[in-house]
Chain A
Amino acid sequence: MSSLSRDDVANLARLARIEMSDEELVNLSTEFTVILEAVARVQEVAGADVEPTSHPLPLRNVFRPDVVTPSLTPEEALSGAPASEDNRFRVPQILGEEA
């Protein structure tokens, strides 16, 4: 149960958008057997009667007044972009041509 095959890791890598070599996939699959066994211990004490905690602060929505404040200029916002054009981020093709 607590193990991941090479193909399982390949599927996760695809979901996480990380290209991985066969060697990386095999190594991770081996490591995960050990890591998952260690982390699965949480199940020993996580009974149905225990409420989950997602965050240390009991916050709900936090609002601020809807007032316009200074923000980045388009030049500043684009300053780190790998590519830009006409004040916009230029990105590679998103939709397949024949799709």
Chain B
Amino acid sequence: MDAFTQLFEKGRNGPCRPWPRAEVSAAEWTALTGHLVAGDLVLMGLWGDAGAAHMALREEGGGRLAVATCPCPDGTFPSVARHHAPAARLERTVRDLFGLVAEGAPDPRPWLDHGRWGVRHPLGTSVRAEPAGDANVVLAADAYPFLAAEGEGLHQIPVGPVHAGIIEPGHFRFSCYGETVVRLEGRLGYVHKGIEGLMAGADIARAARLAGRQSGDSTVAYALAFCRAVEAARGIVVPERAHALRAVMAELERLANHLGDIGGICNDAAFALMLAHCGVLRELVLRASARGFGHRLMMDKVVPGGVACDLAPEGVAALRALVAHARAAFPALVELYDNTASLQDRTVGTGFTRPDHVRQFGAGGYVGRASGRAFDARRSLPYPPYDRLPFEVAGRTEGDVNARVWVRIREVEESLGLIVRLLDTLPAGPVLAELNGTGEGRAGEGLAVVEGFRGDVLAFVALGADGRVRRAHLRDPSWFQWPLLETAIEGNIVADFPLCNKSFNCSYSGVDL
């Protein structure tokens, strides 16, 4: 029996639903790391807790998920990143927030902690005393040592955290040879709000609202992931109609974001016409969402137990009208994208992301699917109502900006079809489960994976006996996409960075927590 099956079996009687969680020894933890390196397991997340580190793992090609927990009585656990690079920033985060040190980690620099909070290890309880004068503990923002790029004629371009456009803050350090980028290193953490600190001790209604604000563009996906984890922990059965309405919202969110991205990518290639037309379609999606669900971004509409409001017949009509309009207008835009040589000249071959990197990092969303990784949580880890809905998972193999645009185009078309199918088969009945009495007063844990527009969002929620959140962690898909952006820009010119960046459209807020 391999290490994963052992973990899976050991966790069967554990506290976590629907996927198991079990404590493992340091040796077992390291054995599991070996499977990550070998590629038969995919890292789905790594996060800290009071005196322990958790690691969510998925069988490559299989539908099984499990969480390994490594107790850290002395404040340390064996580093995963030492052997498996995708864990690096996650381990740095665990250290910053909990003070748990990944023994043998390749990168000792802090990540989220910029030395501005006035506290260290704000979520930690088992803080290991750092040796005095450890330069890595509290660093002035300006003193962050970026990775070196050395050679004759190299120069650095620092960008951010305040950027030129209306986007989130982050710092990018380019090392260039002439116009060519030799190395890019990102430094994030600027929008760290302490979400996990605020969630701990919160009741589930407030925690769901917080979850919906970890990354506002994915508010439906985040709220859905959080609620599914809570429902798993407490054994709440969500009504069928609520499942369907949640999926309608999720597809509307995907539509709005993909339309915005397609326009934005073309605009970053100086083709404003696409932005104008996609912007109109995006606005229509938001207005139809507001008419159907009462909020343009549908914030706080997915709640534990179901959805906050039913979809009225007028809402159904508004959504049907939206789909009809989008289906009529979108093909001309696709044709415009496909037939504009000056635009293709910018997107084809730009920002190539290697398929082996995508596999190693377990990168989801359009980043993974444009580089030949077929993973889509709606298909690979199916949840209602997608487990009974026919739909195509878009995929390309070229791995460039163009491929990421095409994956989005196909997903826009697919989402339009899904919305129609969901509305056609909308079950009648209640939209919110009765929460009273279901699992209340019983501690429990839930794990959920939901496909947001930019990839899979993982949620882990541990509820205390008082019904409040003891620990919640939501892992943004961008954790495994940001590092790949740094590889995608290598060898491209500086002027193509906005294009590459927009084609990834990673979340800052989602990973800054």
Bind each other: no
